[in-house]
Structure 1
Amino acid sequence: MSAQHKVQARGLSVNRLAAPLVARLIDSAAALGVEVARLDNGVTVIDGGIGTRGSVAAGLLIGEICMGGLGEVRLSARTEETWTSWLDVGSAQPVLACLASQYAGWSLAASKEEAGGKKFFSLGSGPARALAGREDLFAELGYRDQAERGVLVLEVDRRPPPVVVDKILRDCGLAPEALTLILTPTTSLAGTTQVVARVLEVAMHKAHELGFALADVVDGHAGAPLPAPSPDGGVAMGRTNDAILYGGRVHLKVRGSDEAARDLAQRLPSSNSRDYGRSFADIFRDYEYDFYKIDPALFAPAEVWVSNLDSGRSWHAGALDMALLRRLWLEA
């Protein structure tokens, strides 16, 4: 197995680092518009917007929880960009924060019979993924967490059925009272915020898909405009994707050869995709709601800078399309 993707964790535990943030979310639940409950088996469930209003502030905190306590997510105002609300995301451990924690890579499903009448599906994201290690990605990264407690974020509009909760507990090796589940529908303020906060993670995942040596990624910062959520799930999902595909900016600091850094900058932006230029909701519909039919090159930020710390040289590619976002997000 190649060592080019091995992450240098240096004893870092994404679940332990996220624990104080989870405690803050629970302690500030009323102020942040979220609700905390315990299942009969002792699992803690935080509702970020299903039966409660949630908030952007909750979404910012959930974004940092998703990054395993190894990233910052902040809200800023940039009227000069023709959209006022932006998220700024950064990490000094982008591989660990984004791919070993934040990436929504754990498939969790239950049949109609298992779920009590309606099929359930969600992609789990956040620190508990590194306890379960169910994805091939963890073998590539050479990382597993050994924490005694875990937290998982699910982008869903209902609670997971018991069969899914039991699977999470079993795969993570946790007692029920040691697991926290955070539920954030994309139609909510918190849900929209925590998805757009994945702008750096989207770049890291694309870098991985392009075969760039992840061990050479040293630092990362990113930004993206924050749209208002929509009560329509398809529209809400489209807006969060469009925010990154057409409004996402990423700056990666890397080591290695100039050739590799330049190639990464040139190949990473979403404009390399044949599907670039239309709203994600329309693209998704035209592909009959099958993610796997969409050109994988589309899933990337709009604009990219890559700086090589070994040579001091930087490259830039791509551009924002704020005019498209304004047409999609603003009423005439």
Structure 2
Amino acid sequence: MTKKPSVGALSAPLVESLIRDADTLRLGIERTATGATIVDAGISVRGGLEAGRRITEICLGGLGKATFSPDVRFPRWSTAIQITTADPVIACLGSQYAGWSLSEGDFFALGSGPARALWAQEKLFGELEYKDTVDSAALIMETDKRPPDTLIAHIAKECGVSEDKLTLILTPTTSLAGSVQVVGRVLEVALHKAHSIHFPLDRIVDGAGFAPVPPPAADFLGGMGRTNDAVLYGGEISLYVEGPEDEAEQLANGLPSSTSRDHGRPFGEVFAGYNYDFYACDAGLFSPAVVTVTALSTGKSFTAGAYEPKLIEKSFSGA
């Protein structure tokens, strides 16, 4: 049996590099009294696209590459982030997926990145048969607030590391870095939906994806809307799977965001329609616009879904 990679060990050099280059990347660094490192990627500092790109690679647990590429599909927003991985299931679901809910008092954030595989309390990790074992932890938190010290201590304890081995990277959705790292989840949302419709994860061999980088919004809700729309209406992924050709075709037809009852409106409108209850939204909406699935047994590819340029224009321009 092939040994599974350590997302913590692979991403550790990327975390060290991010901290070392903080001034160049316009990031803020704080060391807490107990030794934890907090990286501010856009709360009280500017951050930027390159910071977001590098944070995306940390989110992928060192198993993926994030690059910027030209995008001619939406002329006013011509930069896309492209994601490739060496192991899409572990990179996306074992690391990048924002599956750790963290709260204390009025602070709330979802945690993603390699520290999740140390905690490994989500049911998903049992299905993946995966748990990491390293002595350092990095967690990405989508928030515009610094977490309380007691919560920082809790995270370190849950990960089984000392606080001086913990790095928290804070990425508000209103920042450039935050926008990039959310849109950089374009492949991850497809993997998550494939799992939710019960396609066997061990048959997903490889994958790649890209989506347009939206302009940051002025507030949290606007940022959530634009980053989701970038994926739902402008994202595209390719998956390479083992198994029968007809099951590859079935997966392709079941994955695009257009299969959802909530498809067809900017996410901000959908969200407002559910009284800002994220979990009331149809989970099937969270997937890329266009999906191509290739059956490795025959080499035949199946494509489903469509871009929505008018919705991208409406969302990104604030119209």
TM range (shorter): over 0.9
2:86 and 2:166 map into 1 onto residues whose CA distance is 27
The answer to whether the aligner puts 1:277 opposite 2:271 as a matched pair is no
Residues 79 and 212 in structure 2, CA contact (< 8 A), matched pair in contact too: yes
Aligned residue for 2:192, secondary structure, equals helix
Query: In structure 2, what residue type is equivalent to 1:185?
Result: P
2:302 and 2:4 map into 1 onto residues whose CA distance is 33
2:305 and 2:72 map into 1 onto residues whose CA distance is 21
- Alpha-carbon offset, residue 238 of structure 1: 0.3
Which residue of 1 is the match for residue 134 of structure 2? 147
- Alpha-carbon offset, residue 120 of structure 1: 1.1
Aligned residue for 1:58, secondary structure, equals helix
1:302-317 superposed matches below 5 A? 302-317=289-304
The answer to whether the aligner puts 1:57 opposite 2:44 as a matched pair is no
Which residue of 1 is the match for residue 284 of structure 2? 297
2:234 and 2:13 map into 1 onto residues whose CA distance is 31
Which residue of 2 is the match for residue 115 of structure 1? none
Query: In structure 2, what residue type is equivalent to 1:39?
Result: T
Query: In structure 2, what residue type is equivalent to 1:104?
Result: A
2:138 and 2:298 map into 1 onto residues whose CA distance is 39
Structure 2 gaps, min length 5: none
The answer to whether the aligner puts 1:194 opposite 2:181 as a matched pair is yes
1:172-191 superposed matches below 5 A? 172-191=159-178
The answer to whether the aligner puts 1:330 opposite 2:303 as a matched pair is no
Deviations 1:90-147 (A, max 9, x none): 1120000000000000011113xxxxxxx11111000000001121110010000001
Query: In structure 2, what residue type is equivalent to 1:313?
Result: K
Deviations 1:18-76 (A, max 9, x none): 01111111111111110111011000111000110000000000000000000011111
Residues 92 and 218 in structure 1, CA contact (< 8 A), matched pair in contact too: no
- Alpha-carbon offset, residue 81 of structure 1: 4.0
Taking every aligned residue pair, what percent have the same amino acid on both sides?
49
State which drifts further: 287-296 or 77-86.
77-86
Aligned residue for 2:169, secondary structure, equals strand
Distance 1:11 1:305, change over 3 A: closer
The answer to whether the aligner puts 1:103 opposite 2:97 as a matched pair is yes
Which TM-score applies when normalising by structure 1?
A: 0.94
1:216-255 superposed matches below 5 A? 216-255=203-242
- Alpha-carbon offset, residue 331 of structure 1: 6.5
2:307 and 2:189 map into 1 onto residues whose CA distance is 16
Residues 229 and 315 in structure 2, CA contact (< 8 A), matched pair in contact too: no
Structure 1 gaps, min length 5: 1-7, 112-118
2:194 and 2:223 map into 1 onto residues whose CA distance is 26
1:80 and 1:98 map into 2 onto residues whose CA distance is 25
Residues 65 and 84 in structure 2, CA contact (< 8 A), matched pair in contact too: yes
1:9 and 1:108 map into 2 onto residues whose CA distance is 33
Aligned residue for 1:79, secondary structure, equals coil
1:166 and 1:274 map into 2 onto residues whose CA distance is 41
2:140 and 2:102 map into 1 onto residues whose CA distance is 12
Which residue of 1 is the match for residue 121 of structure 2? 134
Query: In structure 2, what residue type is equivalent to 1:89?
Result: I
Residues 187 and 207 in structure 2, CA contact (< 8 A), matched pair in contact too: yes
The answer to whether the aligner puts 1:32 opposite 2:25 as a matched pair is yes
Residues 9 and 143 in structure 1, CA contact (< 8 A), matched pair in contact too: no
